[in-house]
Amino acid sequence: MPDRKPPSRTARAPTRRRPPKPVDAGTLRRIFERFREAEPEPQGELEHVDPYTLLVAVVLSAQATDRSVNIATAKLYGVASDPAAMVALGEEAVAEYIRTIGLYRIKAKNVVALSRRLLDEHGGVVPPSRAYLESLPGVGGKTASVVLNMAFGEPTIAVDTHVFRLSHRIPLLIAPTPDAVQRGLEERIPREFLPHAHHWLILHGRYVCKARRPDCPRCLIADLCRYPDKTLPAPPADGAAAA
């Protein structure tokens, strides 16, 4: 058996590049001014008509795309668009309507259970209370934040994977958990931008600052972002004539 050469004592592990520091307050303001100028009234992509249908849609959207949820709820809301109708429909029937969505059985159970509680405890009305919303089956902090922001206009930020990624990539704020990012962003972002901040960030993360390959060449805040590994424009096609 050949002798193995012992590892060199002088060899060093590769050093990890330190992430950039979060942008300063002035730069953060310019970032959101640009988002506002480009899209003054951003809209969420989950289809709904009132706080209840929004709540159900957000519960269904966990680990699912907005598009898949919209396809399912278009049929579901045709037969049950309020808590009483949803409870009357029952778990098995709800599950059949949403079976194309991941975790559809547990989601059907949660939707019927939260509908029953809304009927029993609030006359079928969704209350603007974070504590109550988070007590409902299938509802966590992110879902409550979306409902409070979109249905009741509260200046809160729902931190999904897109917002968490952008917060650390730009970076706006660096924190270890979504809850910590939410608290930090709500403190850092000027109040005038908070009503729409999470929609701007979600849509930017979904369509431009994507996880695997951010589309930096068409990013409206590329010059303000401190992300060190920005992508470059695609090279011209072979044989393209010079202008």
Catalytic residues, by residue number, are: 142, 160
Cα–Cα distance list, 83 to 65, 117, 135, 138 (Å):
23, 9, 17, 15
**Pair of tokens at residue 185:** 């962003």
Structural contact between residues 157 and 145, judged by C-beta atoms closer than 8 angstroms? yes
Closest C-alpha among 11, 97, 117 to residue 57: 97
